[in-house]
């Protein structure tokens, strides 16, 4: 039987990039899989936001690890775990990645910033990058851990170091054994990313997270012939925040709950997502 890592590897087709949706809990992951996404992005940003703390290496590894395990248990799409900087140096990576493999993840994404990290899209954030050789060691440690795709994320564009440095780092990370390279940008247009993608020599597929430049369509990305995975990086938590705010506001403004009923999920829908039917079958078979 193919592993989740093998299944995800087969989906990284630059002619038809796989699509991953972010999730911050098993319910969000189940909804993403139900919608038809190819993979689940186990977002550190979303999980931090769900705890109402900054995305700055504040939550412990165990919190993220157990969420990845729980996400993988309720749906079949491969899980791409956002492990930020790998929780420390190469030694930390060597201990962390086997635990993510045991939790059932298909891929880990690790970025070349210093620990503790700062959110890439935070205005005025600290975007300090490791020396290339040090990050290559972290990639090699992750690769040695077992059956998992290792995606190396370079923050060179985020840090303002330019395309040439981003290409140099991406090439070095592919040489160190990365299965794919995630290139990130905070520019409001896709020009910077498009230029990088066109210059990329194509040793391994690229991964994009088009949060800042949403006008770039999936079809336009596929036309580049370089990108194997597109990650919708934070849309689950943003959709949840928007919907909850609107619902809560309306309940208070209208003095009751009747007005929001048509726009929210039914209790029966939530029961179904919880697996209520399967539990009833267990009750029927085994309760005495």
Q: Note the pLDDT tens digit of each residue in 169-208.
A: 999 999 999 999 999 999 999 999 999 999 999 889 999 9
Distances (CA, A) of 204 to 116, 151, 237, 282: 28, 10, 30, 46
Distances (CA, A) of 77 to 40, 42, 219, 266: 6, 12, 22, 25
Are the C-beta atoms of residues 160 and 124 closer than 8 Å to each other? no
Does the pLDDT at position 33 exceed 80?
yes
Are the C-beta atoms of residues 222 and 17 closer than 8 Å to each other? yes
Angle between helices 132-143 and 90-102 (to 10 degrees): 30
Query: Using one digit for the tens of pLDDT, what is the confidence trace for 143-177?
Result: 999 999 999 999 999 999 999 999 999 999 999 99
Residues of each domain in the chain carrying CATH 3.20.20.60: 4-234
> Distance between CA 29 and CA 20 in Å, rounded?
10
154 Ramachandran zone, left/alpha/beta (phi>0; psi -120 to 50) = beta
Class of domain 4-234: alpha beta
pLDDT confidence bin for 126, thresholds 50/70/90: confident
> Distance between CA 245 and CA 266 in Å, rounded?
18
Q: Catalytic residue at 55? A: yes
For the CA atoms of 180, 209, 274, 51, what is the dihedral angle to 10 degrees?
A: 110
Other CB atoms within a 10 A radius of the CB of residue 97 amount to: 26
pLDDT confidence bin for 116, thresholds 50/70/90: confident
Q: Which of 38, 55, 84, 179 is the catalytic position? A: 55
Query: Using one digit for the tens of pLDDT, what is the confidence trace for 226-284?
Result: 999 999 999 999 999 999 999 999 999 999 999 999 999 999 999 999 999 999 999 99
Does the pLDDT at position 51 exceed 90?
yes
- How high is the mean pLDDT of the chain? 96
Does the pLDDT at position 122 exceed 90?
no
Are the C-beta atoms of residues 1 and 214 closer than 8 Å to each other? no
**Residues in a beta bridge with 79:** 40
pLDDT confidence bin for 55, thresholds 50/70/90: very high
- The pair phi, psi for residue 236, each rounded to 5°, is -70, -50
Q: CB under 8 Å to 232, separation ≥6 — which residues?
A: 19, 20, 21, 22, 37, 41
Does the pLDDT at position 1 exceed 70?
no
Distances (CA, A) of 278 to 28, 69, 281, 284: 19, 20, 5, 10
> Distance between CA 123 and CA 31 in Å, rounded?
31
> Distance between CA 187 and CA 42 in Å, rounded?
23
pLDDT confidence bin for 11, thresholds 50/70/90: very high
């Amino acid at each position: 039987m193919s592993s989740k890592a093998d299944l995800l590897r087969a989906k990284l087709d630059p002619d038809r990039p796989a699509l991953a949706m972010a999730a911050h809990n098993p319910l969000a992951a189940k909804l993403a899989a139900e919608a038809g996404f190819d993979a689940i992005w186990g977002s550190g940003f979303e999980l931090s936001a769900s705890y109402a703390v900054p995305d700055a290496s504040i939550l412990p590894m165990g919190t993220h690890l157990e969420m990845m395990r729980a996400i993988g248990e309720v749906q079949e799409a491969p899980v791409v775990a956002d492990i930020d900087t790998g929780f420390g140096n190469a030694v930390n990576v060597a201990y962390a990645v086997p635990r993510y493999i045991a939790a059932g993840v298909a891929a880990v994404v690790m970025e070349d910033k210093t620990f503790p990290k700062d959110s890439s899209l935070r205005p005025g954030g600290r975007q300090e990058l490791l020396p290339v050789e040090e990050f290559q060691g972290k990639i090699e440690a992750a690769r040695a851990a077992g059956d998992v795709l290792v995606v190396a994320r370079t923050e060179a564009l985020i840090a303002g170091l330019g395309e040439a440095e981003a290409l140099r780092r991406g090439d070095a990370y592919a040489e160190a054994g990365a299965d794919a390279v995630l290139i990130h940008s905070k520019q409001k247009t896709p020009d910077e990313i498009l230029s990088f993608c066109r210059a990329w020599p194509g040793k391994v597929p690229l991964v994009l997270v088009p949060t800042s430049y949403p006008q770039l369509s999936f079809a336009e990305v596929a036309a580049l012939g370089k990108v194997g995975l597109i990650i919708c990086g934070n849309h689950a938590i943003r959709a949840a925040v928007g919907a909850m705010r609107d619902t809560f506001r309306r309940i208070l403004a209208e003095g009751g709950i009747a007005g929001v009923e048509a726009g929210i999920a039914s209790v029966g829908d939530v029961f179904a997502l919880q697996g209520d039917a399967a539990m009833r079958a267990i009750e029927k078979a085994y309760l005495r």
